[in-house]
């Protein structure tokens, strides 16, 4: 099965690192004309240049940022809503402003972008929208309730949008990664386990944290999530819509997809 996105334009928000960057790279390798997005112009430019992509600096966590992005990129065939924030904080200590910020960045960014792009996809009779949610959306982390709340909200939004565009040739889906290895995680490991080699750092982190329930017994790699997103962006996934697809290494203890 060849993943071919030749002639398709794909926007990946928050794509200068981690899952977003890996997804932009995977989509570009499949032939898509990729738009890289982030808030740091230097990182956007470096990533776009490396991938042979278009770079657009905009903060999609704000209405103004979404407007600036859609003015520069008025139409796409594939929208990957990946931009997001997370933090650990006891639930009763989270101030209103942080609840609102998490919702705006993690949820409203995707709503605003889909509200712009989805009708154009429907007019053409083809389109793909993917929300990068998380297994935290179905098993709320005690130390990140506000993050889990936004990931649950993405599931509802994605399903509702899929119902709205039913029969149009446009699909809307969520992917649910488990804890994923990133540059930020590696930096954290160096602080937690100084002087320990990366393989041992990962073993300890998995054993001591939420990923202890992973059937892989390791963290997910960004490219593993990116491959599932790329599949959802192609014609091969035409019968998959309104779904939440796990890429969590079996961390969620269920036999129901």
Q: Which residues are catalytically annotated?
A: 147
Task: Supply 126's token pair.
Answer: 């083809």
The DSSP annotation for 91-139 comes to GGG--HHHHHHHHIIIIIHHHHHHHHHHHHHHHHT-EEEEEE--GGGTS
What backbone torsions phi and psi does residue 167 show, to the nearest 5 degrees? 75, 10
User: How many angstroms separate the Cα of 142 from the Cα of each of 5, 229, 249?
Assistant: 40, 28, 20
Count CA atoms closer than 13 A to 179's CA, side-chain side. 23
d(CA 17, CA 20): 6
Structure-token match 């809503």, residue found: 81
């Amino acid at each position: 099965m060849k993943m071919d996105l030749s002639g398709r334009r794909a926007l990946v928000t928050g794509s200068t690192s981690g899952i977003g960057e890996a997804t932009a790279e995977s989509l570009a390798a499949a032939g898509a004309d990729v738009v890289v997005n982030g808030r740091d112009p230097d990182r956007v430019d470096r990533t776009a240049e490396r991938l042979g992509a278009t770079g657009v600096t905009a903060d999609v966590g704000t209405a103004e940022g979404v407007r600036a992005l859609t003015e520069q990129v008025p139409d796409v065939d594939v929208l990957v809503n990946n931009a997001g924030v997370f933090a650990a904080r006891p639930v009763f200590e989270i101030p209103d402003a942080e609840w609102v910020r998490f919702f705006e960045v993690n949820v409203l960014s995707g709503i605003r972008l889909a509200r712009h792009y989805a009708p154009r996809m429907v007019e053409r009779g083809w389109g793909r929208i993917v929300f990068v949610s998380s297994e935290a959306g179905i098993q709320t982390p005690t130390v990140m309730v506000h993050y889990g709340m936004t990931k649950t909200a993405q599931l509802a939004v994605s399903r509702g949008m899929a119902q709205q565009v039913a029969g149009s040739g446009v699909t809307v889906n969520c992917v649910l990664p488990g804890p994923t290895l990133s540059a930020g995680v590696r930096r954290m490991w160096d602080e937690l386990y100084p002087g320990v080699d990366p393989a041992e750092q990962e073993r300890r982190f998995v054993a001591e944290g939420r990923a202890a329930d992973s059937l892989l017994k390791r963290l997910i790699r960004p490219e593993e999530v990116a491959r599932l997103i790329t599949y959802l962006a192609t014609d091969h996934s035409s019968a998959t819509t309104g779904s939440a697809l796990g890429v969590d290494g079996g961390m969620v203890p269920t036999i129901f997809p």
